[in-house]
Structure 1
Amino acid sequence: MNDPDSGEKPPVSGAQDAGNAGRPKRSRRRKGKQKGAMSPSAVSPSAGQAAGSSVPAERPQAAPGGNNARRNKRRRHGRIPGAENVRPLAPVGQREASQHEPRQADGRKNRRKHRGRKSGSRVLPSAAEAVVLSPAAEPVAEARPAHHAPEPRGEALPAPRFAERDQYDAPLYAALDLGTNNCRLLVAQPTRPGQFRVVDAFSRIVRLGEGLGASGRLSDEAMDRSVEALKVCAAKLKHRNIRRSRLIATEACRAAENGETFLHRVREETGLELEIINRETEARLAVSGCSSLVGREAKSVVLFDIGGGSSEIAVIRIGENRSSRLANHITHWTSLPVGVVTLSERHGGRDVTPESFAGMVSEVEGMLANFDCPGDIVYAPEDFHLIGTSGTVTTLAGVHLDLPRYDRRRVDGVWLSDDEVTAMQARLLSWDFSARAANPCIGPDRADLVLAGCAILEAIRKRWPSRRMRVADRGLREGLLTDMMADDGVWRRGRHRRNQRGGHRNPAKPEGQAS
């Protein structure tokens, strides 16, 4: 059958396709969304008659307000025809470069992603701020693997936080403590204000003060063990870019006649320059290293550090105004010329009986009697507690927690009640040397020293009774690091902001000099 107007046969699909013969084919879904789509009344009567009964009935014409509502809904959801070809107008110098950026080839997938978004989630640029790219000038999308998401354009990745930048940019600080019994090294870098991250650590029992109480001199064997440990520390420091370091020696080198000679040998064989600090400095460093362990409700604290050749005790009264440096609150301090090594050598540390243990406690109590400290310096029991930083208290905590092996993360900062400390001391006193050596938190190196430390602790508890005690697995090294970082101002507010921008060091000053 011929079309009466053109003389040609109409399309098989019906009269509506005949009316759209001059237009490109579009899907019914797309055609229904076109602005100004043909309505049934626009079809010629002759075309409708030519289609006959085979043409399906057209949908009824929607109300005038319905098309506007549908159009507004599409505008709110960002599904306006041709919107995929609209981009924000780039600056003049970047307009040509932006035309060569890859884009997603299938615009329909992009439109489908926005269908579930809320109203106003996509804002289209106005006509004055947009440029329409013609399909002919549109570049071909760059081929990418299927799993590779397209890179975002025009968005800068967020800068890493200060704590994440430290491992790359923050300066390194080193602290070494050569004591009567141990040689310890700590390398760290500052993080958040008042805190630091440990980069490297070393600890070895050297017993430098072995036999010192009887002879007054450092033995050759003890010096050899210490030099070997210090060589390990020197190798660790050599391979790191250390900004500042402080290397100290304590009671063994203070009391020995050949202490200075030993330090000269250390300098010649290892290249390390150690300084002998006095007892007051040692007490202040112990307090600085444990400042974060003071309870917030505490108004007074007695902090003690039981060493190998001496024991430092500091009475701290905080009051209402708490300083950022806890050492500023020290009111009284003392350094007892007794430690776990010297006390065990005088009374015997391998086979300890209740009688010999009581003798050790009595000797330390006599030394504390000479400490001139008023009794009213300590507040009420609920506002007061003890802090112990030594191998003795950490051993008690490890045994109390029944650890299969010593774990600093579980021991440092743990609270022990007065009854728990008493029970742990009685338990250790009931063990013989082999039982103490078999415990993983004591070991054979400390089995002959731990009860001497318990005797010193018992004398301190009798002088300052407390309901609880906090254990600190930290001490002089942490105090050295805290003081050096605070002196350099790495935790100041302004310096912290500069560090976030990457300026951790002051280029106007050489390394090792305080800013």
Structure 2
Amino acid sequence: MRLGVLDVGSNTVHLLAVDAHRGARPLPAYSYKAALRLAELLDEGGAIGEEGVERLVNTIGEALEAAEDKGCEDVMAFATSAVRDATNADHVLTRVREETGADLQVLSGEDEARLTFLAARRWFGWSAGKLLLLDIGGGSLEIAYGIDEDPDAAVSLPLGAGRLTAAHLPGDPPDVQDVRALRRHVRARIGRSVGEFARFGPPDHVVGTSKTFRQLARIAGAARSADGLYVQRELSRTSLEEWVPKLASMTAEQRAGLPGVSADRATQLLAGALVAEAAMDLFDVSTLEIGPWALREGVILRRLDRLPPS
């Protein structure tokens, strides 16, 4: 069957259509993506402005039309931190439902972490042992740890690259003092959660998912996305520590010229790098592997698990 998953994230609205059935690997068939950067459209009161809501409604409508054109039998639509944290979330969800027919399910931060962990576990398998997952989105950082498919611990922190950039790094390039202040803020926030995971012992394998980790690995020398899903890609803390001051000295336009960095993500790459560096340092991670599957795949896998046996 062909399934669609519509992910309304803090950076993008992304429709992924896959051909799948229970017990099989879902095969990507079509992808539609639009950059809205909702995390940066929140006003001072924490609401998504009417212009942002209008753009969101139109984009979801276009994505649903694409899903219909591509033969999706069902579309699972969900929203993450940008909508979840908006003070006018109910208004946004009502507008979307009334004007597009999509009933967006708002995932909790812990649900995000658990579903992304499931995707990483299925990709890397049982041989990965105790798995530590780090995922940096536009609005939040998800951390999960465990040896089974359901993690023993999972948290979501308000440390997304888009959210932090909008709130803490107004300059281009950013002011040195702003970067230092953000570094302290990020490390203090992650530091409060380290103890919750430390009691389980060190992980056997550490995985980083999300566009931020992929871009950081790419500028540090990892293979291109065009080389395929099965090429191993890693990011070392040493490389990241070398790149953070370089990124801090660059303008967004200069960062967009780096290999693998898209123009729409260049502005927030520094904030993402500060979060990645802090997480790897505080969790004592020397190297992590980039995981190609993340939240969307986790949603699909959970849906397939609930299908009756064929």
What's the TM-score, normalizing by structure 1? 0.55
- Which amino acid counterpart does residue 25 of structure 2 have in structure 1? Q
Match of 2:201 in 1: 378
Per the alignment, do residues 271 and 479 of structure 1 end up closer, same or farther by CA in structure 2, a change over 3 Å counting? same
Query: Given the alignment, which residue of 332, 354, 360 partners 2:153?
Result: 332
1:342 pairs with 2:159: no
- Alpha-carbon distance in structure 2 between the residues aligned to 1:306 and 1:205: 16
- Alpha-carbon distance in structure 1 between the residues aligned to 2:199 and 2:127: 18
Identity %: 27
Q: 1:250-269 to 2 correspondence within 5 Å?
A: 250-269=80-99
Match of 1:387 in 2: 207
Match of 2:218 in 1: 398
Give the C-alpha shift of residue 251 in structure 1.
Answer: 1.2
- Which amino acid counterpart does residue 397 of structure 1 have in structure 2? A
Q: Do the aligned partners of 1:185 and 1:477 also contact (CA within 8 Å) in 2?
A: no
Match of 1:183 in 2: 13
- Post-superposition CA distance 1:239-263 (Å, at most 9, x none): 3443433110111221212212112
Higher relative contact order, structure no. (Cα contacts within 8 Å, ≥ 6 residues apart): 2
C-alpha RMSD of matched pairs (Å)? 2.5
Match of 1:438 in 2: 257
Q: 1:446-465 to 2 correspondence within 5 Å?
A: 446-465=265-284
Match of 1:146 in 2: none
SS of residue matched to 1:273: coil
Query: Given the alignment, which residue of 235, 242, 253 partners 1:423?
Result: 242
Q: Do the aligned partners of 1:185 and 1:233 also contact (CA within 8 Å) in 2?
A: yes
SS of residue matched to 1:232: helix
Q: 1:295-374 to 2 correspondence within 5 Å?
A: 297-316=127-146, 318=147, 323=148, 326=149, 328=150, 330-348=151-169, 350-371=172-193, 372-374=195-197
Match of 1:214 in 2: 44
- Which amino acid counterpart does residue 135 of structure 2 have in structure 1? D
1:470 pairs with 2:289: yes
- In terms of Rg, which structure is larger? 1
Give unpaired runs (5+ residues) of structure 2: none
- Post-superposition CA distance 1:172-208 (Å, at most 9, x none): 1111110111111111112683411111111221012
What's the TM-score, normalizing by structure 2? 0.89
Q: Do the aligned partners of 2:280 and 2:286 also contact (CA within 8 Å) in 1?
A: no
Q: Do the aligned partners of 1:208 and 1:223 also contact (CA within 8 Å) in 2?
A: no
- Post-superposition CA distance 1:394-453 (Å, at most 9, x none): 1112223377x7537268751233323333434433433321122352232112100111
Q: Do the aligned partners of 1:408 and 1:473 also contact (CA within 8 Å) in 2?
A: no
Query: Which structure has more helix as a fraction of its residues?
Result: 2
Give unpaired runs (5+ residues) of structure 1: 1-170, 496-515
Per the alignment, do residues 228 and 480 of structure 1 end up closer, same or farther by CA in structure 2, a change over 3 Å counting? same
Counting matched residue pairs gives 308
- Which amino acid counterpart does residue 284 of structure 2 have in structure 1? P
- Alpha-carbon distance in structure 2 between the residues aligned to 1:411 and 1:216: 40
- Alpha-carbon distance in structure 1 between the residues aligned to 2:177 and 2:125: 36
| Deviating more after overlay: 235-244 vs 464-473 | 235-244
- Alpha-carbon distance in structure 1 between the residues aligned to 2:60 and 2:243: 34
Per the alignment, do residues 361 and 284 of structure 1 end up closer, same or farther by CA in structure 2, a change over 3 Å counting? same
- Which amino acid counterpart does residue 346 of structure 1 have in structure 2? A
- Which amino acid counterpart does residue 369 of structure 1 have in structure 2? G
Match of 1:109 in 2: none
